[in-house]
Structure formats: structure tokens, C-alpha cells
Structure 1
């Protein structure tokens, strides 16, 4: 079985631009690390100056979480640059967080549905994944949750809806625990929040034989370190051996945030009882189980997944981007 693997960058193109007009690359660089995110929307001037064409701006300086103004010079008077795209600050912001060893490309089947419904979609490559560099610190879910906050600060997003899948869902839940005022609502699919939530032998699940090569190929294409997939794999596996490890009392701290815990009934990695446990531990959380689906429902059952996701997002008001 080979699950479909849609590519978020394979959508409609501008007539005079070979680059997609639906996905724009916004890269933040410090002296040591790069965090990449995509801001997705339709092109405002597809025939003259496509928004996906780069413009110059000052990079985020090391240790700061806001964009410097275009033309600002760095240390020593040297102009610092980043890839920046033009985008309207319109539409409800939705941040999509991908799973471990994947990248923002994994949301290719969801982006058109969300953009078509009028949402502003922000795709973040977690550190070490996709276009984002790994950095020198050990990977942790707490660290990656802080990365999400930094990206929100850079984009001037006071709050946003968070949609996470697998490791991305864990990051979303950590963000809701630590900084709930930034989370308008959270849809967490395929998360475990302790080691008891992982099936025995999950690392040897047969589906990984199909998915693994695709993830490695994407990393080679997108990463600044095309040969570094083995390094990323080791960093992720090291993290996952001991993380996440949260108690029910910690999960109960998620208050005032609408949360849906979702999973496939046949998830290859998460135990059958764990989603219900999470939904009980988080006050007022809802539980949604996709029948005849596994951990890769966003790919294999995209239409069903998208309907559920849009229904969840539509239940709330419009989070502010101010």
C-alpha cells in the first residue's frame, strides 16, 4: 500500500511565473538557525508581480522574535536578507503543524480546502524539518512550541487556531498548556502525551516502509542539509524515547481553549485508549475518531478529514490577527 502524498506546492501557477501562486516561502534566519514557514493565499497580482516572487527585508536578528524593517543593516553595516513574500493580512489565521520527520508539504491535501474556505494558512517547518535548520540544542516539544510562538510574534499574530498532526499535535497541546492565550482553538490529530500512549513496536510499523522513503526524499529536496535526514531521524527518535511525558494534571491546565482530540480508529502508532484518555484529561475537550482510518488519515481519507476539520474551525469566531 502506498498512501497518497499530495504536495502543497503543486497548485495553480501564475501565467508569467513558474512558481506556485498559492504557497509562499517566508524564512527567518538568525546567526545559527533558520525557521521556515509558508503563508498561503491567492496571488493579488498574478500577471505582473506575483506575491511568490521574493522581496528583500531585514532578517530576524538573533534572540529577537520580530521582523526587522526592510533595509535595516546588520552588524558591521552589512545588509542582511531573507526570503520574504508579499501577503495580505486577511482571513482567519490557521497554523498547521506537521508530524515528526515530515514537513509542511504533508498538509498538501488540506491547504486548498482551508484557503478555499477563506482562511489564512501558515505552514511551519519544525526545526530540523523541511527548510528549517536543526540548531545545536536537543530537540524537544517544549522548544518547538516556543518556535511556534516566535513565528506568531514575527507575523504579528496575537492568536491563531492550531491544527496539529502527530508530533505537530503534541506541539499544539504543549503550546496550549504553556501559552493558552495564543491559541484560539486546537485540533490535535494522532497525538500521544506520554509514553504509555504509544503502541509496542510502533517504530517497526509496516506502513513506515511506504512513508519513510517519501519523507527522506522530501527532506533531500527541501533541506539546507540534503544529506542530513539520518541526523534528523536520530534527533527525533532520541526525543521520542523519553518525550512527551505529561501527567493528567498538567493536561488539565488547558482551559478556555476549545480542543478536539482526533485520531484514526486503526492508528498504527497510538494506542486505542489514549485519545479518549486525553479527551477526559483536558477540560471540555471533544473526541473524534475516524472509522477505518489510521495515523495517515489526512492523506488517505483527506475529504473526510477536511470536512471534520472545517466543521471544527467553523464552530468558533474569527481569531484576531492583531
Structure 2
């Protein structure tokens, strides 16, 4: 059954919220104690990674400008019965970058090389924004590496991005926060502007997949969005879900692009319902 006929709506029980939670971005708690962490030499960079817990492996990939620590709420839950892997994408957080142009294909190769380094053959992949796009790239090119793909706030062409995001205050607050995190975490703490300029070249033209490429995905996939996403147009999200055979459409209520932080329990429950259900 196609995604347009299968919609998983995650509903909140109880009284209405006192305030609009999608209008702010709560910071996550500190990350739990890692089982292992370090810098993996992949594709000419040093890629920060950490692992938590034990069990079936789950790879969490953060969004653009972010870092692995954004997943603290989800890691604390999923590590109870999963091996959870997080990393900082190239140029993000504690990972280095090169002069090579950013591309989702290159970033997907980084994560596959990291899994090889960790000797992990196959994972459930939870990707947010750029992380979801990286997950879609892997689903197209290396489906044998994925059991499930939970892709939140992703797009498949640049026209899926809402132009209004450029002036959105909530999104702007995220950029300011990530600038501070970059200065605190990065091995090149004074190069945030140069990093943004470099990755913006990718965002200007990627992703740019055809409908046929997306429709060829065979990995069990959930296409996920907050119902107040500032960056990705709802019609685009629905199109993605309709294109991928058998995909599940998940709409998280009272949450935005930053749903994993605004509604962490609902978000993790949706992840578990898909990868464990």
C-alpha cells in the first residue's frame, strides 16, 4: 500500500498546551556516558563519533550546522535496548572538513565509511533535515546498509524549501545557537562563517533527485514532519511520502523543524513505533 493511503498521525493526549511549543527550541540535556567515542579517519577527514548501549544498531544523523549532541533525549531512551551511533557530519561540531565541495553523496559516503570503521553492516537510520537527506541518498545507493529509514524534515529538490525560512525567527535562533556550539566544539572555532559559505554551495543546488530516483527506494521508509515545520513545505513532504513505495507519512503535532527537541518523548515514540514496531 502506498504512502498516500498510509498515514501515521502521532497525537498528543490531554489538555491543550499552555503555549505554542513550536515557537522555541529547548536545548537538550547533556549526552549520556558513551561506550566509545573518538575521531574516525574517513574520506580525508577526522569524523567525531560516539556509541551508546547495546543491541540492534541505530544511526542518528543530525541536520545542517548541527552536531550529534542534539540527539541527547533520543540517545538516552534508545540506548536502553539498541546500539546507538551518533556522529558529527563533516565540518560540523568536532569533525574536520576539507576544501572539497560539500555534497549529500559525499556526506553519505562519510557515514558509510564510519559504519565500516565501526564494523557495522546494517542500521536503522534516523535522519533529521540534512541527516534525512543523507539517509535518502544511502537508501537509493546502498539499500543493503539500511533496515529502516526515518527521514524527518528532509527534501528531495530545492523547491521543497519554504523561502520564508530565511527570515524565520525560530530558525534564526537555531543558527545563532549552532554558531556558539561551533566555536565551542570545532577544531577550527573561528571559521563558522567560512564553513557556512562552503556548505551553502550545496544547499543552493542539492538535493535534486528525480521522481523516478525517489520512487525506486526499496528500504522501509517513514517520511516525517512537524506540523509547523518552518523550512520544508508540507506539500513537498506529502509528495515524498507518496513517491516512495510503501512509505509511512508521520506528522508530529505542535512541533516544527526541531521536533526532536520540542517534543522529545513523542519523537522517540514515533521512532520506536517505526523501527521496532
When normalised by structure 2's length, the TM-score is 0.88
Is contact 1:8–1:23 with CA below 8 Å preserved after alignment? no
Match of 1:128 among 91, 97, 100: 91
Is contact 2:42–2:114 with CA below 8 Å preserved after alignment? no
Q: Which position in structure 2 is the counterpart of 1:215?
A: 178
Match of 1:22 among 34, 37, 49: 34
Deviation at 1:23, TM superposition (A): 6.0
Q: Which position in structure 2 is the counterpart of 1:230?
A: 193
Distance 1:170 1:188 in 2: 7
Q: Which position in structure 1 is the counterpart of 2:27?
A: 5
Deviation at 1:35, TM superposition (A): 1.2
Q: Which position in structure 2 is the counterpart of 1:46?
A: none
Q: What are the within-5 Å matches in structure 2 for residues 266-285 of structure 1?
A: 266-285=228-247
Using CA pairs below 8 Å that are at least 6 residues apart, which structure has the higher relative contact order? 2
Match of 1:33 among 32, 45, 54: 45
- The answer to whether 1:109 aligns with 2:131 is no
Is contact 2:151–2:222 with CA below 8 Å preserved after alignment? yes
**Richer in helix (by share):** 2
- The answer to whether 1:91 aligns with 2:91 is no
Q: Which position in structure 2 is the counterpart of 1:198?
A: 161
Deviation at 1:253, TM superposition (A): 1.6
Evaluate the alpha carbon distance shift between residue 23 and residue 268 of structure 1 in structure 2; reply closer, same or farther with a 3 A threshold: farther
**Alpha-carbon displacement from aligned partner over 1:186-208 (angstroms, at most 9, x marks no partner):** 00000011012111232222112
Match of 1:294 among 241, 244, 256: 256
Gaps of 5+ in 2: 1-22
Distance 2:244 2:30 in 1: 32
Is contact 2:42–2:110 with CA below 8 Å preserved after alignment? no
Distance 1:203 1:309 in 2: 29
Q: Which position in structure 2 is the counterpart of 1:152?
A: 115
Q: Which position in structure 2 is the counterpart of 1:311?
A: 273
Evaluate the alpha carbon distance shift between residue 210 and residue 35 of structure 1 in structure 2; reply closer, same or farther with a 3 A threshold: same
Q: Which position in structure 2 is the counterpart of 1:180?
A: 143
Gaps of 5+ in 1: 12-20, 42-89, 316-322
When normalised by structure 1's length, the TM-score is 0.76
Evaluate the alpha carbon distance shift between residue 120 and residue 200 of structure 1 in structure 2; reply closer, same or farther with a 3 A threshold: same
Is contact 1:163–1:187 with CA below 8 Å preserved after alignment? yes
Deviation at 1:280, TM superposition (A): 0.9
Deviation at 1:2, TM superposition (A): 3.9
Distance 1:296 1:308 in 2: 14
